[in-house]
Structure 1
């Protein structure tokens, strides 16, 4: 059996990043990482309530991307090339464009903005979960921009990804069947 998850290393207000780097828990990078983690968990709730195999597969793919993205964001800027070389998991512009393509494909089914969403009004846990995940994706996008504008560059693909993902999640919450 491996060692305990309880190490006490974070008791001083710092946490580990990849490649042996330590950073303050109050840093903007840790805030972004926390948002991505929350987004992944919210997607897990929506996925667990889903019955539509197409939506389940889509959420699964997004969750897999978020895990890789957390690794990339858990690097200080100078370690990102090292991460990309070692893990081959850096988010690309193509990933952001695939999210947009998925959103457009669902939108083409007749999904249109007809007013503000009232999450949970339809009694669907999956739809409410997708709306919850959408709000976290928007917060993640804002926090990512704050990190980028603070002088710690965040790639354009990552910045666009959260914007497109929040749109996709809004559309999915409207597109999901009534039995979802």
Structure 2
């Protein structure tokens, strides 16, 4: 269990922070950037949940996802280190598989698309589209972390990839199973 008795420590005043291992790193470190993006995604999903009153299933899924995003943040904040005296929390394959099952379930009720969808429609759909774009940014940060040579759980990157797909499908669900989607009309304003 985490205990937070004091909120400010002044240890970051010079631009550094500590990873879950206790290692001091710059706040601009790719690992810090990756879990920071995940934190922002969690906040955006919290905003989306303000719009879920008529969508209990979506709210329940987003509630679980918010908790899993803290798991993901812990995963990204903990480099592989054989000398660790604790077992790091990692995203596992079953979490990715659950997202895939939810994508399939929600997408099964939707009409196939014949155009790209613009962010909008209902308030919930707009918030979910924003969450989707923040999720893609978090995914890019996680990929950059991997490309920097850092050891990252492969399931962490997969999780972000599937989550952005789920957020897209949920936005269409929130738009009356796609009936209220705002479709892109190429060149319509020329």
TM over 0.5: yes
1:11-51 Cα offsets, whole Å, 9 max, x none, are 11101211322111011001101110011001001111112
Do residues 13 (structure 1) and 38 (structure 2) align? no
- Structure 2 contact 72–90 (Cα < 8 Å) conserved: yes
* TM-score where L is the length of structure 2: 0.83
Equivalent residue, structure 1, for 2:150: 152
Kindly report the root-mean-square deviation, in angstroms, between the aligned alpha carbons of the 2 structures.
2.0
Q: Which entry has the higher C-alpha Rg, 1 or 2? A: 2
More helix by share: 1
Taking a change above 3 Å as real, the CA distance of residues 3 and 152 of structure 1, as seen in their structure-2 partners, is: same
Structure 1: any 5+ residue segments left out of the alignment? none
Aligned-partner SS, 1:152: coil
In structure 1, the partner of 2:50 is 48
Contact 1:45 1:126 in 2 (8 A): no
The match for 1:65 among 51, 55, 68 is 68
Q: Distance in 1 between matches of 2:83 and 2:107?
A: 34
TM-score (norm 1): 0.87
**Structure-1 residue corresponding to 2:99:** 99
Specify the alignment match of 2:35 in structure 1: 33
Distance 1:70 1:48, change over 3 A: same
CA contact (8 A) 1:72 1:90 kept: yes
- The alpha carbon displacement at 1:92 in A equals 0.6
The structural deviation recorded for 1:73 is 1.2
1:62-111 Cα offsets, whole Å, 9 max, x none, are: 1110111111211122169755x26xx42111111110110011011124
Q: What whole-Å deviation, never above 9, does each CA across 1:106-150 have from its counterpart, x for those lacking one?
A: 011124333222223x2x221111000000111111111110111
1:127 aligns with 2:129: no
